[in-house]
Amino acid sequence: MDVEQQPVTGDEGFSVLEMVVALAVLSVTMVASAPFFVNSLTSVNRQRTRQAAIQLAETAMEQVRGLKGSALLTGRSTSATQTQFNTVLSADATTAGFLTVAKPFVSQMEAAGDPMITDTSSTAGADAPIPTSAQQVTVEGTTYTQNIFVGKCEVYLTGTTECVYPKGAAAPADTTKILQFFRVVVLENWADPSACRTTANTCSYVATTLVSRASEPNFDFNRPAPQVLDNSQTWYVGDTVSYQMQARGGQLPNTWTVGALPPGLTMTAAGLVSGTATTATATGGLVTTTTVTDHVNRNSTGSVTFTVLAQPVATVPVTVVTSRIGDTYSLALTATGGKSPYTYAVTGLPPGLALDATTNTITGSPTTNGTYTVSVITTDANNHAGPAKTYTQTVNPALTLSGLSDQTIDLKTKLDLTAVAGGGDGKYTYTGTNLPPGVTVNKNSGAVSGKSTASGRFLPTITATDGSGGTLSQQIAVIVTTSDSLIFTAPALTAPDQTTAKGTAASLALATNGTLLGLSPTITVTGLPAGLSYNALTATIAGTPTTAGTYTVTATATSLTPASTSILTLVWKIT
């Protein structure tokens, strides 16, 4: 018989291969999810430990707020408090980094102890209601270390309302604007390697509060009569002024009057001085009186000094300053106006020049030619900076001098040299000193020319001067020889210079050709070092020099019949 095949319907299950693939996919998914769950748990743990620290700090703060200000120091000796402060103030990242979080707060506090503990050597404090020693609390397996610091500070209503210590810094004159507080700092530390990447894996949380030092607030509805405070002020000509007159007490509003004000200033009935000061006051300022009257017609009068100073301004050159590369330059700065002593700030100086702040002098040697605009700002003793004063400084190239050299000529021959200057501002004049008699220097061309009327050795100095006063000099040696006229024969004209040690005996013989010529010349000597003298009988310079230095010695031989002269110039160094 025929058997009819029926179609298969429904789910007959998974094959083995399908089961293996499904398990593999499930394993990969679980492995990928593991870091997510681990990170999530770590984050939750961090938040949990931090929330616990915050709760511990808030609990400590509630305990503090429940005490009167005068009770915060109970049982805490000054010594123990100071030791606790020092531990924080000396902490750093390598020793106790977890304490540095509290350092900015503790540094603005004054250590104070229980006034009832009179023993200065007492270290009490560990068992005080607010202990000076660290306390440990364990919450859900995490141990927290709690430190509570208590100290004094002041808040000035004229400032930023931050705690001020040392006391008195920028204190307002009106003591009613000084508030006195105790500052309490609570520091919580706990170890958590996963959350804190600091030294020893320690986390920190800090909380602070201010507590009035008074046990109870005092309210005084009967304000005293107004009292004028010290309203003396110093302003500067040209400054815009806005100053509120100060008084203590009185039933507001107060009304002000003033005897006189510096020119340019006015005052409202509310005591606001404003305007632009136009004229400097005399020495000592403008001394006048001011009166404040309160709402119930009580008044107070006080003396006040208003001082208006001229702006501090440097005294600088009124014309262009001209210098040259390499010149030694010095300009002492002075100032007028303001209040001395002054300090200066200088900009725009030529390279090579600088301000010496100790002597207030611009010194140095310019290194680069050019034209420079120099600005000088003066600050006076009141730390008020005046307007800038400027001047122009031109630096020219360094002066040069050429065309000069040592010369040897005959008495019958004309000397012919030309000095040539360069650099500077290009406008030159020439001069000469110690020239042979009969020789001159043309001041415009620099030509050195003429016949010498005397033989011998000369050391002339030729100087070039530019239009701004810069100078450069050069000394040369000129030997004038002769065969038929008077001339020095000793020492040799080519090398007459001498060097002698101080305290050592010296001797130098002088001689001429006078005998050969049948002449009887007279020799005189000038410019000798101290301790040396010339003996005319022996024609010898002799003695023991006593003073070190460089001396220009001139020996002159003269004959009357026939008239002739020889001059010997030499340099004698005493070392």
pLDDT digit string, tens, across residues 391-403: 999 999 999 999 9
Q: How far is CA 400 from the centre of its chain?
A: 38
Q: What is the per-residue pLDDT for 574?
A: 97
Mean per-residue pLDDT, 486-507: 97
Q: Residue 10 pLDDT more than 90?
A: no
For 261-301, the pLDDT digits (tens) are 999 999 999 999 999 999 999 999 999 999 999 999 999 99
pLDDT in tens, 417-439: 999 999 999 999 999 999 999 99
**pLDDT of 30 over the 70 cut:** no
If you average pLDDT over every residue of the chain, what do you get?
A: 88
How much of the chain, in percent, has pLDDT values that exceed 70? 86
High-pLDDT (> 90) share of the chain, %:
62
Residue whose structure tokens are 């006078």: 514
pTM reported for the whole predicted model: 0.55
Amino acid 88: pLDDT:
85
Distances (CA, A) of 113 to 74, 149, 235, 279: 8, 11, 45, 55
User: What does the pLDDT read at residue 1?
Assistant: 39
CA–CA distance from 151 to each of 56, 59, 119, 133, 134 (Å)?
A: 21, 19, 19, 15, 16
Q: What is the DSSP letter of 397?
A: P
Q: What is the pLDDT of residues 450-487, one digit of tens each?
A: 999 999 999 999 999 999 899 999 999 999 999 999 99
Q: Is the pLDDT of residue 38 over 50?
A: no
CA quadruple 222, 224, 225, 228: dihedral sign: negative
Domains and CATH numbers, the chain: 46-212 (no CATH), 227-309 (2.60.40.10), 317-396 (2.60.40.10), 400-480 (2.60.40.10), 488-574 (2.60.40.10)
